[in-house]
Amino acid sequence: MRTDRSLTWLVAIVVLAFVAALPMLYPGSYWQTLGLITFLFVSLSVSWNILGGYGGQISFGHGTFLGLGAFTTAAIALRTGIPPWLTIPVAGLIAMLYGLLWGYPTLRLRGPYFSIATIGVGEATRVLMINLDDLLRGIPVLKEVVRFRPLTGGASGLTLPMPADIRSYALAYYYGAFAFMLVALAVSWWIRRSRFGLALLAINMDPDAAETLGISTSRYKVMALMVSAFLVGIVGSLYAQYFLFIDPREMFSFQNSIAMVLMPIIGGVGTLWGPVLGAVVFKVVEDRLSTARLMVGSLSINLVQFNLLLYGLLLVLIILFEPGGVLGLIRRIGRSKLSLRISARFRGWV
Amino acid sequence: MSVLLECDGLIKHFGGLVAVNDVSCHARDGEIFGLIGPNGAGKTTLFRLISGVYSPTTGYILFKGRSVAGLKPHATCHRGIVSTHQIVRPFREMSVFDNVRVGAEFGRRGDRRRDVNAWTREILEFTGLAPQADRLAKNLTLAGRKRLEIARSLAADPELLLLDEVIAGLNPTEIAQTMNLILQIRARGITIIMVEHVMKAIMNLSDRIMVLNYGRKIAEGQPKEIAQNPAVIEAYLGQPFAN
């Protein structure tokens, strides 16, 4: 058990060193951007896992926080002209408040009923945000808000001004996103070993028993949603700052919400490192397949959307055979007779 | 002995079904109050009304003179009423220690408890679960899980403990051990209301017994009186045996 843990840390340190050195190996490259996106998705996955993994409340509505974070940053930066990074805490707070707003009623529902309600919340939010500017223009007092500048830009989205030195800007956000990923991991690690985490775990395993033993299940679930929303809101903010263009149809899309559910489940839901692993697998598979082509005789098949098929297959296999996800699979292999035999032989040689 | 819990005119409807029909009862400080009745008599429903899982359609529930009717279970737990579940519900993937720690952390006075781990260990020692502290709850035997259910509730530091069939399904040795444990819990000053089908246990343990049938109270008194009560015999065995 101890060696298992120290091995995890060793792997983590090697990965972190590689990640830190990547921009020096390939400065300003495609790999740097892929790295940044991976950090953001790892953060999303880890954040979702606080409510979905520890607390067992499967939310399909986390895309709302991503979008709100992004548009809060863009709308404030465009109106006031302050540097976008200053809006990060506000983006997190707005997402958190939105989490309180829809979490309070929906978290009274249990299991699949909660999940279904979150799909509704996500879709309603998306439609609302796409039409927000037009909606406000029709209301007497509120129309002043969007008189000179849009809030979401409707179908045309919002564009932030281009920074002067794009290379160092990109590099700064690469490390910034990396640092934030570590923050999200630290929060997740802290919650897992805290009193709060014990409450979430108890709620996950048996909400009625948890309630009987004095845990206010609705309060802890709403708190977990708010923490999770805060972190996801900040990811949205960082996304807007790096890519400089955001479209409500994309930011609030159902696909983002689905991605946040898939990543932790693929990696190992309810664990600290599983969601990290899941996000990396998720992004790498998506990236590799988006450029790959399958040659069948003289026929060349484009595999751009093929990743969705693969995720679906992976999800079915995981739910059927290894609910612990990729991390559970690795642990199972580690415990298996085969690996014991190999390590025994290895010891014989040394 | 002063009255700790008082129920007055409790009624609970589920649609057209009246599960608890005008039940009044009380539990005195430090006693063991037994609750028996045929299946579907409303025993568990009464427990759930007291612990807050359901709120009564009408009627009063006073705990230490204050109304607890309609409070959520976590709130009644903080007031000092903790119940066990008829079908044991351990946190399966947690260790026995962590199961008990949940009660210690979140139960009555849990947020003010300085050393949660010490309290948890004390409860584990008291209930005899200490040797199994590191095992996962799902790997315990049925007797172990029933004991864990009691231990976890005790960790929440109740003044009134509701035990729902903690003896049923155990073998004679385990029954004797659990009966002994219940007496020790009472010796700690905790009042107990228990539902039980094992007559030997409830007749020996209870100071007073109440009998429910079809949601109504049909008898109340000392175990000896209850055993000879014609209405009770009729409810259990049918009319021909009543005389």
Q: Does residue A209 sit at the B interface (CB-CB below 8 Å)?
A: yes
The answer to whether the Cβ–Cβ distance between B91 and A199 falls below 8 Å is no
- A265 domain residue, yes or no: yes
Q: In A107-253, where does DSSP find H-type helix?
A: 111-130, 132-137, 166-192, 195-205, 207-212, 217-243, 248-251
Q: Which domain holds residue A182?
A: 32-288+305-311
| Chain B residues inside the 8 Å CB shell of A214 | 74, 77-78, 82, 103, 106-108, 110, 156
For residue A11, the model assigns a pLDDT of 83
Note the pLDDT of residue A141. 87
Predicted local distance difference test score (pLDDT) of residue A347: 54
The total number of structural domains in chain A stands at 1
Taking the CA of residue A15 and the nearest CA in chain B, the distance in Å comes to 30
Q: For residue B84, give the chain A residue with the closest CA.
A: A212
Separation in Å, CA of A271 to nearest CA in chain B: 13
With CA atoms as reference, the chain B residue closest to A209 would be: B89
> Is B93–A214 a contact, with Cβ atoms under 8 angstroms apart?
no
Nearest by CB: B110 against A201, A210, A214: A214
Q: Inter-chain contact A212–B94, Cβ cutoff 8 Å?
A: no
Question: Between A201, A212, A216, which is nearest B83 by CB?
Answer: A212
In a domain, A149, yes or no: yes
Q: Where are the domains of chain B?
A: 1-74+195-243
- Collapsing DSSP to helix, strand or coil, B163 comes out as strand
- pLDDT means per 10 residues, chain B with 243 residues, are 90 92 93 92 93 93 93 95 91 94 92 88 95 94 93 95 92 94 95 92 94 92 90 81 62
Q: Are B96 and B112 in contact (CB under 8 A)?
A: no
Residue A321 is assigned to a structural domain of this protein: no
Nearest residue of A to residue B51, measured between CA atoms: A212
pLDDT value, residue A206: 94
Superfamily of the domain at B1-74+195-243 = P-loop containing nucleotide triphosphate hydrolases (3.40.50.300)
Look at residue A331 in the predicted model and tell me its pLDDT: 83
Alpha helices for chain A (secondary structure H): 2-25, 30-49, 63-80, 88-106, 111-130, 132-137, 166-192, 195-205, 207-212, 217-243, 248-251, 254-267, 274-291, 306-321, 325-335, 337-349
Phi/psi for B222 (5° steps) reads -75, 155
Using CA atoms, how far apart are residues A158 and A287, in angstroms rounded to an integer?
25
CA B147, chain centre distance (Å) = 13
Q: Do A198 and B156 touch (CB under 8 A)?
A: no
Any chain B CB within 8 A of the CB of A214? yes
Task: Select the residue of B51, B90, B92 nearest A212 (Cβ to Cβ).
Answer: B51
Q: Kindly state whether residue A268 falls inside one of the protein's structural domains.
A: yes
**ipTM for this model:** 0.90
Question: Could you tell me if residue A204 is inside a domain?
Answer: yes
Q: Would A11 be classed as within a structural domain?
A: no
Q: Render each residue's pLDDT in chain A as its tens digit; 350 residues.
A: 455 677 778 887 888 888 888 888 877 778 889 999 999 999 999 999 999 999 999 999 999 999 999 999 999 999 998 999 999 999 999 999 999 999 999 999 998 999 999 999 999 999 999 999 999 988 888 888 888 888 888 888 899 988 888 888 999 999 999 999 999 999 999 999 999 999 999 999 999 999 999 999 999 999 999 999 999 999 999 999 999 999 999 999 999 999 999 999 999 999 999 999 999 989 888 888 777 777 777 887 777 777 778 888 888 888 888 888 888 888 888 777 666 666 665 554 43
A-B Cβ pairs (cutoff 8 Å, strict): 73
Whole-angstrom CA distances from A52 to A216, A229, A246, B176 are 18, 12, 27, 43
pLDDT of A332: 83
Q: Does A202 touch chain B (CB under 8 A)?
A: yes
